[in-house]
Amino acid sequence: MPADLFYFISSLPALRWGEKPPLCYDAFLAACQEQLGPELTAQLKAISLIPGGQPASTTLAAWEDWETYLRNAIAESRAAKLRKNAAAWLRAGNGLYPGDRKRLEDALNQPTPRDREHAIDLLRWQQLEHLAAMHQFDVAALELYTLKLLLSEKHAGRNLDAGKKAYQQLVEQGLNQAKEQQGSTSA
């Protein structure tokens, strides 16, 4: 473990669920490059919220197992609603997290897609917090911080007003296309 790792992790701003992250992912990677070197920075840059199947550490493997379980449970729930077999959408995974199944069902029962996604991301955040409790000033703590930062940025990037504006533009485009087609068929 590099001697600078303790200092570097101590200097990182705290990340809080539902709040805009105090630094962006690119600034974080630049600080890692400057303070920790290219090898560790490359390892952190390879981290993704989407399971890739080749985790670089046991901590990332634990995260990917849980995330795969979560995604499989979501696929099973959606398939059940459509009365289809979920097997085609399931991914191989090692994890079994029965306590999280009920929490996921509660998240999937939220009234709007936005609320559902928010509740599912909260489950992800809580899992990262659970994993982080076992790591303080090691590379695993930095890997988990990276995942939390990516999740924070994903969540902060959602803007209700921008979404409503985009939706309204799509509706207007659809109405204009319908009017144009109606005008061309009556001519």
The confidence score (pLDDT) of residue 35 equals 94
Of the pLDDT bands very low, low, confident and very high (cuts 50, 70, 90), residue 117 is: very high
Question: What residues have CB less than 8 Å from 101, skipping those under 6 apart?
Answer: 73
Res 160: pLDDT: 63
How far lies 167's CA from each of 7, 154, 174, 175, 177, in Å?
Answer: 46, 20, 11, 12, 15
Give yes or no for residue 9 having a pLDDT over 90: yes
User: At 136, is the secondary structure helix, strand, or coil?
Assistant: coil
Q: What is the pLDDT of residue 182?
A: 83
| Residue 134 tokens, joined | 């076992």
Would you say how long the chain is, in residues?
Answer: 187
Cα–Cα dist 59/120, whole Å: 20
d(Cα 111, Cα 78) in Å, to the nearest integer? 15
What tokens were used for 9?
Answer: 């992790």
Residue with tokens 């303080």: 136
User: Tokens 């991914």, residue?
Assistant: 91
Distance CA 136, CA 154 (A): 24
Among the listed residues 107, 108, 104, 85, the one whose alpha carbon sits nearest the alpha carbon of residue 95: 104
Which range has the worst mean pLDDT, 18-22, 25-29, 53-57, 68-72? 53-57
pLDDT of amino acid 146: 98
- How sure is the predictor about 3, in pLDDT bands with cuts at 50, 70 and 90? low
Segment 157-187, tens digit of pLDDT? 776 666 777 778 888 888 888 888 887 776 6
Both ends of the chain: CA-CA distance in Å?
Answer: 76
Q: How many CB atoms lie within 10 A of CB 69?
A: 22
- Please tell me the least confidently modeled range out of 23-27, 139-143, 152-156: 152-156
The reported pLDDT for the residue numbered 38 is 95
The string of pLDDT tens digits covering residues 37-51 is: 999 999 999 999 999
What does the alpha-carbon distance between residue 50 and residue 23 come to, in Å, rounded to a whole number? 21
